[in-house]
Structure 1
Amino acid sequence: MKHRKGRNGFIAVCVLPAVILFIIFMIVPTINVFKMSLYKWGGFSNNKTFVGLNNFKILFEDPKFYRSFQNSVLLIVMVTIITMVFSLVFAAILSREKIKGQNFFRIIFYIPNILSVVVISAIFSAIYDPSQGLLNSILSIFRGAKADPILWLGNQKLVIYSLVIAMVWQAIGYYMVMYMASMSSVPESLYESANLEGAGRIHQFFNITLPLIWTNIRTTLTFFIISTINLSFLFVKAMTGGKPDGASEVFLSYMYGQAYTNSSYGYGMAIGVIVFLFSFGLAGLVNLATKREPLEF
């Protein structure tokens, strides 16, 4: 009994600091966001006016919010699908095929993930530069030197897709390495049996590899959706600032602008509440949609 109490006490001492930090830096700020969304407050004075749900009423009538919502959803869908597809394909190739320098390719693919968003944004801003950027220089070979340069970050229709490319490039290597780790645990005997049955590489990928690493895919998919919401804010702030004319504005950048630039802190927190509920709702929906019986081998 004493040994059990001592063990429980030791566990409590180890866990308590993390619990305290989680409460202070996660739970309390989250509660404060919900609280401040009910007030009209500039953020820099003591004058707070309780307005109830009026901030949310204004929010749902704000066309700029809906535009940022559409941009966020577009980024989540496109970046997630493209990243997951390429990560799985590259992971399968480097895991199953005999390619010289596999470790070299793993390092090369992973390098973008260790770079800061600011560095990646600077790289792609230089690539997208209208006058001296690499992308327009290559396209000028086919379009002609006298053709007008494409404003990748200055065109309302192209700016979101330009951000997609940068975000996908940043994320592929990280998820590729995670999927390679999962694929390495799949018994080679399953592939040998499939070869004897005449199954090709593609058939093996969809009927052996994917089902056996599905749990890992579900976990990374949920994590990636949440991280895309956060990373989209960083890329927008570093590359476009929401320009041109709000065409690249996303959830969090619009919230930041309202709370700290327009001195509408209460309204910004109302946007934060919607982002919070949307994130958890979407994560739960994805978990439910991808749920299936785990396979054992």
Structure 2
Amino acid sequence: MTNRSKNVFIAVCVLPAVIVFGIFSLYPFLRAITMAFYSWSGISAESEFIGLDNFRTLAQDPIVWKSLRNNIFLLLVVPVVTKALSLLFAVLLTRKRFRERPFYRTVFFFPNVLALVVISILWSFIYHPTFGILNSFMEAIGLQSLTHAWLGESGTVLWALVFPMVWQAVGYYMIIYIAAMEGVPAHLYESAVLEGATEMQQFLHITFPLIWSVVRITIVFFLIGVFNNSFTYVQVMTNSGPDNESSVLMTYLYKQAMQNGNFGYGAAIGVFTLIVTITLAWLSEKLTDKESVEY
């Protein structure tokens, strides 16, 4: 087969995927960006070009900034807690030779198999103020003063969203870290033990540096995942309440476009969200950029 024939064959094989990507991903993406400069109800055949007016409105919209603040809160808390628990469980299931390791791996990973809507509904029942498991448990052990309408109070609603997001993601990242840790040569730990290193020192000076490249990649994935997944949790569990205290950028976008019929403004919020996401991903890359340790 000549080079020309080979290139034609490759092009023919790749072309269907490129067409599908262009129609269902690239075109909607570019259309959303251009829509941000128009006033459009979403159902009318006519749209009016208004330039940067949507972005001027966005800059003065307090709910946008409240939503961004909530997004940042989730981005700071959820990844830190999830990474810490994932690393802890991964270390325990690789360094400690539990006979039940396969069972624990399955149990921890199981929440990741469930749909986000199912998880949101499940935790909504757990947090229910009258018949929820959490408040019932508090009352059973004599802590009635600590019961709350967890999803209905501004002081607790964001923290109540953190737990299901962590619960769902811990097992997934635990499996990734287990795979990375199992690739660390055992003789490094044996040498460290002979030198008198504690298990914490082994983790800090052997395990973590050698799996850092994997951890770094998962940080970027997680930042994007929190942005995307927070929409489902908020929409199902709180509907941005109470009084938009749990609103995030994606739910506010949905409200403006789908409920208020303001697709142009919704598209502007989407462009703003894209810029924030790209910026955070770039910052995480820069802040976590350090030389990988090889063995």
Per-residue deviation, residues 135-165 of structure 1 (Å, max 9, x unmatched): 11111134456x5841001001101100000
Determine the structure 1 residue equivalent to 2:27: 28
Determine the structure 2 residue equivalent to 1:60: 59
Q: Is the 8 A contact 1:42 1:265 kept in 2?
A: yes
Match among 239, 242, 258 for residue 240 of structure 2:
242
Per-residue deviation, residues 177-226 of structure 1 (Å, max 9, x unmatched): 01101111110011111111111111111111111111111111101110
Determine the structure 2 residue equivalent to 1:231: 229
Determine the structure 2 residue equivalent to 1:199: 197
Q: Is the 8 A contact 1:131 1:149 kept in 2?
A: no
Letter paired with 1:138 = F
Shift in Å at residue 275 of structure 1? 0.5
Describe the SS at the equivalent of 2:220.
helix
Describe the SS at the equivalent of 2:28.
helix
Q: Which runs of 5+ in 1 are unaligned?
A: none
| Percentage identity across paired residues of the two chains | 43
Letter paired with 1:101 = E
TM-score of the superposed pair, with normalisation by structure 2? 0.96
Superposed, which structure 2 residues align to 1:1-297 within 5 Å?
A: 2-143=1-142, 149-297=147-295
Paired residues, number: 295
Relative to 1, partners in 2 of residues 1:285 and 1:148: Cα closer, same or farther, differing over 3 Å?
closer
Q: Is the 8 A contact 2:188 2:206 kept in 1?
A: yes
Per-residue deviation, residues 259-293 of structure 1 (Å, max 9, x unmatched): 11011110000000001111111111101111111
Once superposed, what is the RMSD of the aligned Cα atoms?
A: 1.4
Letter paired with 1:26 = S
Relative to 1, partners in 2 of residues 1:71 and 1:144: Cα closer, same or farther, differing over 3 Å?
closer
Judge which range, 22-31 or 69-78, deviates more: 22-31
Q: Kindly report structure 1 stretches of 4+ aligned residues shifted beyond 6 Å.
A: none
d(CA) in 1 for partners of 2:214, 2:77: 20
d(CA) in 1 for partners of 2:143, 2:155: 22
d(CA) in 2 for partners of 1:139, 1:81: 27
d(CA) in 2 for partners of 1:121, 1:88: 25
Shift in Å at residue 54 of structure 1? 0.6
d(CA) in 2 for partners of 1:122, 1:191: 44
d(CA) in 1 for partners of 2:5, 2:219: 40
d(CA) in 2 for partners of 1:165, 1:176: 16
Q: Is the 8 A contact 2:40 2:262 kept in 1?
A: yes
Shift in Å at residue 296 of structure 1? 1.6
d(CA) in 2 for partners of 1:165, 1:52: 41
Q: Which runs of 5+ in 2 are unaligned?
A: none
Shift in Å at residue 64 of structure 1? 0.8
